[in-house]
Structure 1
Amino acid sequence: MNLLQHAGRAARSTVAGLARGIRHIWRTRIVRPALFGLSFAAAALPAHAAPPRAPLVSETPLPGAFALAGAGQAAMLVYDPADHAVVAHAVRDLAEDVSAVTGIRPDLRARSTAPKSRHIVLIGTIGRSRAIDGLIRQGRIDVRALRGAWESFLILTVPHPLPGIEDALIIVGSDRRGTAYGVYELSEQMGVSPWTWWADVPAQKHEALWIPAGTRRFGPPSVRYRGLFINDEDWGLFPWAARTFDPARGNIGPKTYERVFELLLRLKANTLWPAMHKVSAPFNADSANAKLADDYAIVMGSSHAEPMLRNNVGEWKGTAQDFNYADNPAGVRAYWEQRVRTNARYESLWTLGMRGIHDGGMVGASTLEGRIDLLSSAIADQRAMLRRHVSPDLSGAKQMFMPYKEVLDLYRGGLKIPDDVTIVWPDDNFGYIRQFPSDAERARKGGMGVYYHLSYLGAPLSYIWLGTTPPALVQEEMTRAYDAGARTVWIANAGDIKPAEIGVSLFLEMAWDIDRWRDRDQVGFLTDWAGRTFGPARAEPIAALLDEHFRLNFERRPEHLQSWLPGERPLYPPTTPFEIGNRYKISSVEIDQRLDRFRTLAAGSDAIRASLPQDYADAFFELVDYPVKAAAAANRRFFGAERYDSLVDTQPTIARDAGAAAIAADVELKALTRRFNETIAGGKWRYIITEEPADSQWRQFRTAPVSLPAPGLAGERPSIAPPSPLKDGGVLWQEAEQFVSNDGWVLHKSLGRGAGTMIAQHAGARLAVRMTVPAGGPRTLSLGMLPLFSNDGSDAVLHLDVQIDANPPVRLDVSHPAESPAWTQGVLDNLLAVELPDRLSPGMHDIVIVARSSGVALDRIASSPSAPAAAH
């Protein structure tokens, strides 16, 4: 049964059927078992859903429960005015949240002693709330578990805590952020999404709120510093802030950052690297920004290209050539030290090291040894500044070093980083972490971290439009990093924040509690997230829809559809049917299946939207409908235009109809984007979304605009029909999870094609598959692997053995160093194609793959007709 047949049914049956429909279509179209002569054995797979958290809030009264709100009354919210500023911010938000959920607005009192009220919510930080400290001294609250703990809190009920008070709900934090997180934890469990403002998610309505009796402890977090980097904001956050949200300032300023800080706290994050492109006013150029960050208890840092909290593109007044530590050390030192003096009183993460003015390589030395010496000198001088102005022994000055891009080569080449500095490992900008800590590095006093991209502007092609990094990849790589010891700093490059909400949510939830999502799959996370966002009744169909959306876009992002790179000759028209689509010669058959899957997704989104209450319409469009339909339209536009180009001379009717379909998709895409910017939430998000490419800036890193046929050249019927005759080149795909036997491999669901990717858990892990080759000539055999890096450092080579039948094993050493041609192809298609020297004859073959290193992830196996021998 397809999704369109569900659309006219009642809402409950519609949303229940959608999940089944998407899963059925996925199984029949992706796995394609008829192509293989296989014996299928299922792996031991992780469960879908995360273990349920004990409920903090109930709609019905229970014995001893605390009545937070109901029957027209709400408990008074009380905090000490001497507490940290962030506590007051959180308490005010809680009052709004209780009102949004129940329609009852609680009274709010800032006073050092409890008021004369029968029921109160008492909120405070140990050592800063006199009422709470008094209860601790009297033994009414046991906070031994909080003493000295980082960002932890208790939520507990206490009967008759003080004279005249019948009962209290107490939220007590070990520190200022712990208290704030406790407040926002209560809000979320009441039914207020962390994305209530940023994605217009409505509060889930309840007539009454009860807190069951008892004590619940939360924290400390799995990762100490957790946050976001606002980056490449030129085409979204900046124009929105400057022209819509804060036109009086005309830039990203305190009004915008206040909303960002609230979002971070609701997501239990604590760190921000602020916007830093030329269009944006430097964060610290306005002292109100730093003061506001401190009021919200947000730790400010800066990117790998901005040492010492300096925004080079906006604050360095000399020439780019003067930003040279070999020729102008005094000038650069003075520039850095000025910021250290002004921000010494704030909680900060100080980035050490040096690169060029705007994310380029460091200048001033030409050899490896010279660059290492120059960078070592800069780091020593930076630490001396921190000793002078922040902390004489540096214990109070948290420092980071990010070996990003070419700086990683310096670190691997012998650069020594002081032991108390946190080394923050980079990914390759496409979600694959380049290096993991060694045993010696795990023992470092400063610890380890990860800088991870959910959005990227750079080579070989950017992806700054739609947030399509699959949660499955985030979960796999960040769990791997945590287990390797990267537990001090996690920063995600979130671009403009919108539309990366889903990726941001998972990244920060894992940073807060890694075990919540350990060994859980993408569908499990999406089901949980959708239930919290849109209600449990709609969780499964929305999760199924998004799971397929992320799968399709992992095969090729909407920003990466073209088959050539900037600076290369465009491949129009493709020279053979196998070059339609991308560099990896996907066939016309696969293109048609891909477009069909996108049509199914768009229909599914329509059906779910029709089942939603009206107050969810804006949130659903922002978080689900726009990303799904924009990706679908981008694919129809691109492949329709490509089919027009390739067939207009040979099959003009099919070509012109495909051209018409491309034009219609372009019209739809622009209407969707216009709706996001002009209609959703009453125009709240005007200018926040721009279709990629939005302009001609940074064109060396961005996809080219799609060339559409003029309307007079297009056909009358918008339709992307298969070419005639339809050919697929005889390529046979076999998914790695369709194995005969397995020892030491685990299926990571939804990561890659088919059901997922098989990842070896240790050296020596053995996977056996069986492939049937049809009659005909011999065929080539290739492995499709995810472009992971091994745990061994130095962009280490992946090692594996492949044995076919009784032949001797073939040793494969798969090298794909970052920015190499192999890496470029691998990250654009999220697949490394590794061809074996063997040729397969017709018949059944047993293939055994043995991992010899970490990072070996097998997605699929392909066999193709061998190329004919060259004539002599």
Structure 2
Amino acid sequence: MLARLFLILMLLVGGARAQAADWVGAAAGPGSFPLAADGAAARIVTDPADHAVVQIAATDLRADIARVTGASPGGTAQVWIGTLGRNAAIDGLVASGRIDVSRLRGAWESFLIQTIDRPAPGVRQALLIIGSDRRGTAYGAYELSQAIGVSPWHWWADVTPLHRDALHVSPGTRRFGPPSVRYRGIFLNDEDWGLVPWAAGTHAPDEPPLGPKSYARVFELLLRLKANLLWPAMHRITRPFNADPANAALADRYAIVMGSSHAEPMLRNNVGEWTAPVADFDYAKNPGGVGAYWRERVATNARYESVWTLGMRGIHDSGMVGPTSMADKRATLERIFADQRAMLRDHGIERAPQVFMPYKEVLDIYRAGLTVPDDVTLMWPDDNFGYIRRFPNAAERARPGGSGIYYHLSYLGAPLSYLWLSTTPPALIREEMGRAWDRGARMMWVANVGDLKPAELATDYFLRLAWDVEGTRARPIDDVVAQWADENIAPGQGARIAPLFAAYHRLNFARRPEHLQWYLPGEKAHPSPLDIAQADARLAEFARLEAATDALTPSIPAARQDAFFELLAYPVHASAAANRRVFAAEAHDRLRDTDLAGATARGRMAWAADAQLRALTRRYNRDLAGGKWRGMMAMEPADGQWRSYRMAAPLLPSADAPLPGPRSGATSPAPAPTVAPIIVAPDRFAVSAGWRKVDGLGRQDGVLASDGSGAARVRINLPQGSWRMVVDILPTYADADGGPLRLVVAVDGRRQRIDIPRTTGDRDWADAVLDNRITMPVPTRLDGGAHRIALEGAGEPLLVEAVRFLPERMLDGSLH
């Protein structure tokens, strides 16, 4: 009961979006506030002395009310929006004791929304939106916008608000904040294939991409999502953010904190701003030149709210130039820390937030004893595929600078990139980021969202989790997604849509659309390990998903059809077609010598899938919202760039071969009989303390999570024969830095511990992140009959997807 009361309190106080619309309705009630009624909207009032972002948010709220109701300002009621200490009218109410702001004073990014009668002469009723600071006030205005039916994605995903004749706010006080994570934001990255072509050719062709017109839309989205931090796009194709002073000034108007990635120390975009030879980007040999380059940015941006990235890597996502030994690398970085912090001190911003990211090879330098100043945030990376490599230990948790997480929802790099469709399950975000939170990474969370579209759901969930960790992760994923679908696709259809997203994430978790080749660049091409029947079963699941998605179309309001296509229909149909294209082409090659008719039919299926993919993408780029997104969507592989990190273009069979009839006397060979593996899904296990069942993740509609203790037990009855057991786990990392994943497996009471080493970058790691699975063989042969199986924690957390029993003679070829 206590836990339930705590959850309700978190939803009310923390401002969870599930409750947002409950306090705004179409009908007036006792004491309710008429935000819009009888064609008249309440007047929105701010103080000219307040921050620029407050004026921006107030203007957006005024426009949002008009979008929803069509009403024009003219009502007798007023909405007062202001920041404590910056709004004279609100400060007067505080001074007179009419409102209680004790919980707002000194709070970070917090706000309240409160009705009040007769706050001033001639004002019958007012709705107060009061922020503890400038962002808190802006968040309050956008919270009201969302409560009346304006999605944060109204512009970025064409979520057109649905009409409401009137809007009445229930009386009372609602408090929101402070956020769970202090700095919460996104990284626009690998923008070559979407954001830049779209901005340059469609959205803002009159300015070098990306410029203020594009960033203004990004900043508004961040505020509506209650985020506060942006790492701007930084590839060579993009004009560096700070090369145009208008960008930084605009970020300050929107109260967005600007930072930069692990490869861009001191807010410098090296690929666009370092014009000297690459060899000169060597602090050991050229400290004067590199130091002057950094000091220039400190001088221009010291007046803005920024997070300063410390340290040094190469010009673009590569190792530091110069030092070769680990000792020299460590000493050079420590010297760089001291000099960079001196630059900040010289400009009076030594207390500005600073961050150091031990990303890729830099993590090895940190492990070798690198000393990082205690007030600098340590930002731990994932392995680029959603699995966090390292968590803060007890000593690191005690540092005043705290810890953060840099997390990927999109990635360009080895072993294969994923830049096209967003397929990271929200449940994986919840498990990994929740685990990071529990281990003290609470200062800064940044998600690499690539081109932002089509990562709307994943981005939204990541930031909602960062705002309210406990309240968000307490809710089942399907509930969160259903609510999100109600808000962004079709009201009342969320319960039908959530299972479609679940199936989409489950199928693509087994293999992302960008990873539908089972060889790495530079290797000899070879087909998938799925035989034709297995591939057909996968394609049948995609076909059912497509049919269910199409069946929704009549239930989607006309104003939301574009949003429906962008958020659900395109990802579903595109991923299904990508699978058909690959597996039909494989089937053609396998049948070509034995079943020409069947091979030809499969070849035509592959070509049809390819044509469908192109048609879907053409519709996205040319037809949606009157051509608004032209240039945004590029299906993988988009071109020949970065070939060492990207899948090859599919080789389709000839499209011109006639479809022959069966030859007299010729028959296709019958498939060899096989004994299917027996899969024991997580829901069959009985769990004790230390284990829990996790929804929304894995191939079996859930996984088992172990905190390193307790046991999960199941009884099975195997058919006659000789069997081997494997345990499938997700490729997470141990709490102990660099340690193996461990599991104790007991078979009929006989216990054995299995250790799985985790070395980021090796072939086992590559196979694991492409499969989203590690297979742990259990070295015990089992005969047919009844058996007792227990999975016991061995000190390290892990996620178990399933237990499989394989006929012994199939073991070597059946680990997929």
TM-score calculated relative to the size of structure 2: 0.95
Equivalent residue runs for 1:233-252 within 5 Å? 233-252=191-210
Q: 1:517 and 2:458 equivalent?
A: no
Q: 2:743 aligns with which of 794, 800, 806?
A: 800
Counterpart of 1:813?
Answer: 755
Q: 1:538 and 2:493 equivalent?
A: yes
Matched position secondary structure for 2:445: strand
Matched position secondary structure for 2:25: coil
Counterpart of 2:184?
Answer: 226
Matched position secondary structure for 1:712: coil
CA distance in 2 between counterparts of 1:723 and 1:750 reads 40
CA distance in 2 between counterparts of 1:724 and 1:101 reads 62
Q: 2:553 aligns with which of 609, 623, 637?
A: 609
CA shift for structure 1 position 749:
1.1
CA shift for structure 1 position 652:
2.1
Q: 1:103 aligns with which of 45, 67, 70?
A: 70
CA distance in 1 between counterparts of 2:810 and 2:683 reads 31
CA shift for structure 1 position 827:
0.8
CA distance in 1 between counterparts of 2:413 and 2:673 reads 36
Q: 1:775 aligns with which of 699, 720, 724?
A: 720
Equivalent residue runs for 1:52-131 within 5 Å? 52-53=18-19, 55-106=22-73, 118-131=76-89
User: Where in structure 1 are there 5+ consecutive unaligned residues?
Assistant: 1-45, 108-116, 575-580
Greater relative contact order: 1 or 2 (C-alpha under 8 angstroms, separation 6 or more)? 1
CA shift for structure 1 position 740:
4.8
Matched position secondary structure for 1:100: helix
CA distance in 2 between counterparts of 1:620 and 1:630 reads 14
Counterpart of 1:481?
Answer: 436
Matched position secondary structure for 1:220: coil
Task: Show CA shifts across 1:191-228 (max 9, x none).
Answer: 00000000000113211111111111111111110001
CA distance in 2 between counterparts of 1:437 and 1:557 reads 30
Q: 2:151 aligns with which of 188, 193, 199?
A: 193
Asked if 2 retains the 8 angstrom alpha-carbon contact of 1:83 and 1:128, the reply is yes
The code of the aligned residue for 1:53 comes to: Q
CA distance in 1 between counterparts of 2:530 and 2:711 reads 29
Task: Show CA shifts across 1:623-682 (max 9, x none).
Answer: 000001000000000100111112211222222111111100000000000000000000
The code of the aligned residue for 1:792 comes to: A
Asked if 2 retains the 8 angstrom alpha-carbon contact of 1:564 and 1:570, the reply is yes
Structure 1 residues 477 and 741, CA, compared in 2 at 3 Å: closer, same or farther? closer
Counterpart of 1:440?
Answer: 395
CA distance in 2 between counterparts of 1:472 and 1:313 reads 35
Matched position secondary structure for 1:275: coil
CA shift for structure 1 position 745:
1.3
Q: 1:788 and 2:743 equivalent?
A: no
Counterpart of 1:730?
Answer: 676
Q: 1:333 and 2:280 equivalent?
A: no
The code of the aligned residue for 2:741 comes to: L
Asked if 2 retains the 8 angstrom alpha-carbon contact of 1:660 and 1:714, the reply is no
Structure 1 residues 666 and 167, CA, compared in 2 at 3 Å: closer, same or farther? same
Q: 1:556 and 2:511 equivalent?
A: yes
Equivalent residue runs for 1:384-463 within 5 Å? 384-391=342-349, 394-395=350-351, 397-463=352-418
Asked if 1 retains the 8 angstrom alpha-carbon contact of 2:580 and 2:606, the reply is yes
Matched position secondary structure for 2:804: strand
CA distance in 1 between counterparts of 2:53 and 2:445 reads 22
CA distance in 2 between counterparts of 1:339 and 1:860 reads 52
CA distance in 2 between counterparts of 1:519 and 1:159 reads 37
Counterpart of 2:3?
Answer: none
The code of the aligned residue for 1:773 comes to: L
Matched position secondary structure for 2:416: coil
The code of the aligned residue for 2:487 comes to: R
Asked if 2 retains the 8 angstrom alpha-carbon contact of 1:736 and 1:769, the reply is no
Deviates further, 362-371 or 254-263: 362-371
CA distance in 1 between counterparts of 2:390 and 2:647 reads 29
CA shift for structure 1 position 864:
2.1
Q: 1:739 and 2:694 equivalent?
A: no
Counterpart of 1:650?
Answer: 594
Task: Show CA shifts across 1:662-711 (max 9, x none).
Answer: 10000000000000000000000000000100000001000111100121
Counterpart of 1:284?
Answer: 242
CA shift for structure 1 position 407:
0.8
Counterpart of 2:544?
Answer: 600
Asked if 2 retains the 8 angstrom alpha-carbon contact of 1:588 and 1:723, the reply is no
Counterpart of 1:268?
Answer: 226
Task: Show CA shifts across 1:821-870 (max 9, x none).
Answer: 22111110110011122122222222221111222211111222324999
CA distance in 1 between counterparts of 2:660 and 2:646 reads 32
Counterpart of 1:32?
Answer: none
Task: Show CA shifts across 1:121-141 (max 9, x none).
Answer: 111111111111122112222
CA distance in 1 between counterparts of 2:724 and 2:84 reads 68
Task: Show CA shifts across 1:784-803 (max 9, x none).
Answer: 10011122223x21112112
Asked if 1 retains the 8 angstrom alpha-carbon contact of 2:490 and 2:557, the reply is no
The code of the aligned residue for 1:842 comes to: G
The code of the aligned residue for 2:801 comes to: D
CA shift for structure 1 position 591:
1.6
Asked if 1 retains the 8 angstrom alpha-carbon contact of 2:47 and 2:86, the reply is yes
CA distance in 2 between counterparts of 1:184 and 1:694 reads 36
Structure 1 residues 869 and 635, CA, compared in 2 at 3 Å: closer, same or farther? closer
Matched position secondary structure for 1:841: strand
CA distance in 1 between counterparts of 2:670 and 2:61 reads 63
Counterpart of 2:4?
Answer: none
Matched position secondary structure for 2:123: coil
Structure 1 residues 332 and 250, CA, compared in 2 at 3 Å: closer, same or farther? closer
CA distance in 1 between counterparts of 2:427 and 2:452 reads 19
CA distance in 2 between counterparts of 1:355 and 1:620 reads 42
Root mean square deviation, CA, Å = 1.9
CA distance in 1 between counterparts of 2:632 and 2:687 reads 50
Q: Percent identity among equivalent residues?
A: 53
CA distance in 1 between counterparts of 2:712 and 2:115 reads 53
CA distance in 2 between counterparts of 1:244 and 1:790 reads 46
Asked if 2 retains the 8 angstrom alpha-carbon contact of 1:75 and 1:119, the reply is yes
Structure 1 residues 841 and 331, CA, compared in 2 at 3 Å: closer, same or farther? same
CA distance in 1 between counterparts of 2:798 and 2:76 reads 62
CA distance in 2 between counterparts of 1:740 and 1:191 reads 43
CA shift for structure 1 position 298:
0.3
Structure 1 residues 383 and 454, CA, compared in 2 at 3 Å: closer, same or farther? same
Q: 1:823 and 2:789 equivalent?
A: no
CA shift for structure 1 position 491:
0.3
Counterpart of 1:14?
Answer: none
Counterpart of 2:710?
Answer: 765
CA distance in 2 between counterparts of 1:803 and 1:483 reads 29
Q: 1:862 and 2:808 equivalent?
A: no
CA shift for structure 1 position 741:
5.3
Q: 1:675 aligns with which of 581, 606, 619?
A: 619
Deviates further, 430-439 or 263-272: 430-439
The code of the aligned residue for 1:566 comes to: P
Q: 1:619 aligns with which of 546, 563, 574?
A: 563
Asked if 1 retains the 8 angstrom alpha-carbon contact of 2:267 and 2:297, the reply is yes
CA shift for structure 1 position 325:
1.4
Structure 1 residues 716 and 679, CA, compared in 2 at 3 Å: closer, same or farther? farther
CA distance in 2 between counterparts of 1:282 and 1:826 reads 35
Task: Show CA shifts across 1:690-734 (max 9, x none).
Answer: 0100000001000111100121137489xxxx9942755532222
Counterpart of 2:578?
Answer: 634
